[in-house]
C-alpha cells in the first residue's frame, strides 16, 4: 500500500502564507489521485476543506486553496488566522482504496 507523506509541522505568522504538501511513494501525485484536504482540531471530527485537488465546500474559507505543485498535492493558506491552528491531512485515491497522509500540525504564531 502506498505511503503518503506530509510535513510533520509548519509554523506561520498571523496574516502570513504557508503551503502544505502531500507526496506519494508511488510517484507524482496527479488529479487522478483526487487529492483531498482535511482540517482537524483537538477533540473534533475531521472537516473537509478541499476535494478533487482544488474544489472547495461551501464552508471552506477563501484563504485556503488546493493545487498540484512539483509532483505533489498542495494546500496553501494565505492570510493565516489563529483559528487555522490545527492538524491537516491529505487523502489520496489509489484505484478505489484511499490513503491518508501522515498529517501536518500547523501553528499560527
Partner 1 sequence: EVQLVESGGGLVQPGGSLRLSCAASGFTFSNYWMHWVRQAPGKGLVWLSRIDSDGSSTTYADSVKGRFTISRDNAKNTLYLQMNSLRAEDTAMYYCARWMVGNEFDHWGQGTLVTVSS
Q: Residues in the site for partner 1, rule: CB under 8 A?
A: 1, 36, 38, 40, 45-48, 51-52, 55, 57, 87, 89, 91, 96-103
What is the CB neighbour count within 10 angstroms for residue 3? 11
- Smaller CB separation from partner 1, 82 or 96: 96
The minimum distance between CB 14 and partner 1, in angstroms, equals 26
Are 20 and 8 within 8 A, CB to CB? no
The minimum distance between CB 4 and partner 1, in angstroms, equals 10
End-to-end CA distance of the chain: 36
The minimum distance between CB 17 and partner 1, in angstroms, equals 24
- Smaller CB separation from partner 1, 68 or 105: 105
What is the CB neighbour count within 10 angstroms for residue 92? 23
The minimum distance between CB 78 and partner 1, in angstroms, equals 23
Are 105 and 53 within 8 A, CB to CB? no
CA separation for the pair 45, 63 (Å, rounded): 21
- Smaller CB separation from partner 1, 68 or 79: 68
DSSP state of 27: B
- Smaller CB separation from partner 1, 17 or 32: 32
Amino acid at each position: 500500500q502506498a505511503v503518503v507523506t506530509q510535513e510533520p509541522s509548519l509554523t506561520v505568522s498571523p496574516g502570513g502564507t504557508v503551503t502544505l504538501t502531500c507526496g506519494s511513494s508511488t510517484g507524482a501525485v496527479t488529479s487522478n489521485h483526487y487529492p483531498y484536504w482535511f482540517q482537524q482540531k483537538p477533540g473534533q471530527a475531521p472537516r473537509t476543506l478541499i476535494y478533487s485537488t482544488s474544489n472547495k465546500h461551501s464552508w471552506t474559507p477563501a484563504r485556503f486553496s488546493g493545487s498540484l505543485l512539483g509532483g505533489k498535492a498542495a494546500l496553501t493558506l494565505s492570510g493565516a488566522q489563529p483559528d487555522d491552528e490545527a492538524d491537516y491531512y491529505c487523502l489520496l485515491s489509489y484505484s478505489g482504496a484511499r490513503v491518508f497522509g501522515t498529517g501536518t500540525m500547523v501553528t499560527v504564531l
